[in-house]
Structure 1
Amino acid sequence: MIKNIIFDFGDIFINLDKQATYKEMAKLGVTKISDEMIAVYHQYEKGLMTTDEFINFYHDKFGIKKEDLVFAWNAILLDFPKKRLDFLKDLAASNKYRLFLLSNTNDLHIKWVQSSVGEEFYNEFKNSFEQFYLSHEINFRKPDSEIYEFVLNENNLIADETLFVDDLKENTDSANKLGIHVWNLIPEKDDVTELFIKNKTN
């Protein structure tokens, strides 16, 4: 029986355009993603680098204006449909499951989200979860197994009683290896509001 549900954030609750940042960076003259850039991104996403250090890396390396970089970086983030918030609030109010958020989210992105949806909407979202885990605050990132072990251990969760919902197969595969039940939600085909239609939770 499922007693706990762990949700991802991007393309689960908030819609993403995963190519938008690449397109915006290309407009700024950055057309190739190097191993160094990926390493810096992972460091930033794990909170091992400050926002200023992250922005300065691109500014110094490519001569990009800092405000242009922030715009490009946040271009991936789209809208947050209210029906998904309503679904989550109803689920939380039912008290049937322990709810958790587990997201690879960096400081720039979460600040954009807070500003975009507004304080009341954001707080209603955050307060629907027992714990709200963002990668840059806990120094882990998916799909590393350590992040799932951290959530399980911190909250005394049993893997076989836990469902993890994420849009990336590499993330659900990693969690599933630990015995966690998973739903690899496919954006534009699935919607989180269909959770109980597409998954067995008992």
Structure 2
Amino acid sequence: MIKTIIFDFGDVFLNLDKPATARELKKYNISHFSEEMLQKNLEYEKGLITSEEFIESYCSSFPDLTSEAFTGTWNSILVDFPEHRLKFLQKLKQEGKFELILLSNTNHIHMDWVKKNIAFFEEFKACFDAFYLSQEINLRKPDPEIYKFVLGKHSLDPDEVLFIDDTAENTAAASKLGIHTWNIDPVTQDVTDLFTIKSDLF
């Protein structure tokens, strides 16, 4: 029986346009990501470098980029947060049947945008018993350590946990630890359909 639900954020609650950043960077003649750039992205997502250091790493590599232009480009992936998903989450919280945890790979630039542009962000955050962002815990999905961290922190039995994420690599890693998963398809599925799509678990 499921007692804890762990949710991803992007493309579960917050709609994303994943190709947008690469598309926008092409306007600045940036079409190739070097291994060093990809490593910087991972370090930033794990909170190992500051926003200033991250932005500087791009601007120093690509003279056409300004700090402001890069920030806008970086945030172009973020679209909107449909309010019906908040209401669904608030109902779950009110019913009190499940421990609710958020586990997201994200970064400070994206979260600054979210806090500024999603009017009900604090209401959203208040629905969770725990709110884990990769930038704050220095761990990221799909590394097994991030799932072990959450399981250990909350003394969870993996067989009583459902993890919802739009990235197959992330749900596959959680499954290997015995966690139930839903690799949600943001194009055809909505998190509000949880109890219909995953009815076998409840």
String of CA shifts for 1:129-179, please: whole Å, max 9, x gaps: 000000000000000000000000011111000000000000000000000
1:78 aligned onto 2:79: yes
Cα RMSD over matched residues? Answer: 0.6
**Partner Cα separation in structure 2 for residue 195 and residue 33 of structure 1:** 36
| AA aligned opposite 1:79 | D
**Partner Cα separation in structure 1 for residue 25 and residue 195 of structure 2:** 39
Find the counterpart in structure 2 of residue 189 from structure 1: 188
1:46 aligned onto 2:17: no
String of CA shifts for 1:55-99, please: whole Å, max 9, x gaps: 000011111111000000000000100000000000011100000
**Partner Cα separation in structure 1 for residue 29 and residue 139 of structure 2:** 31
Deviation at 1:201, TM superposition (A): 2.9
Deviation at 1:33, TM superposition (A): 1.3
Three-state SS of the structure 2 residue aligned to 1:6 is strand
Structure 1 runs of 4+ with >4 Å offset: none
1:6 aligned onto 2:10: no
Any stretches of 5+ residues in structure 2 without a counterpart? Answer: none
**Partner Cα separation in structure 2 for residue 122 and residue 11 of structure 1:** 15
Structure-to-structure mapping, 1:159-198, within 5 angstroms: 159-198=158-197
String of CA shifts for 1:15-51, please: whole Å, max 9, x gaps: 0000000001111111111111110000000000000
Find the counterpart in structure 1 of residue 103 from structure 2: 102
Three-state SS of the structure 2 residue aligned to 1:54 is helix
Find the counterpart in structure 2 of residue 157 from structure 1: 156
Three-state SS of the structure 2 residue aligned to 1:125 is helix
Corresponding residue pairs, total: 200
Three-state SS of the structure 1 residue aligned to 2:78 is coil
Under a length normalisation based on structure 2, what TM-score does the superposition of the two structures give?
Answer: 0.98
1:27 aligned onto 2:17: no
| AA aligned opposite 1:34 | S
**Partner Cα separation in structure 1 for residue 94 and residue 52 of structure 2:** 39
| AA aligned opposite 2:95 | S
Deviation at 1:188, TM superposition (A): 1.3
Find the counterpart in structure 2 of residue 65 from structure 1: 66
**Partner Cα separation in structure 2 for residue 135 and residue 163 of structure 1:** 19
**Partner Cα separation in structure 2 for residue 144 and residue 117 of structure 1:** 29
String of CA shifts for 1:112-145, please: whole Å, max 9, x gaps: 0010112xx0111000000000000000000000
| AA aligned opposite 2:59 | H
Three-state SS of the structure 2 residue aligned to 1:41 is helix
Any stretches of 5+ residues in structure 1 without a counterpart? Answer: none
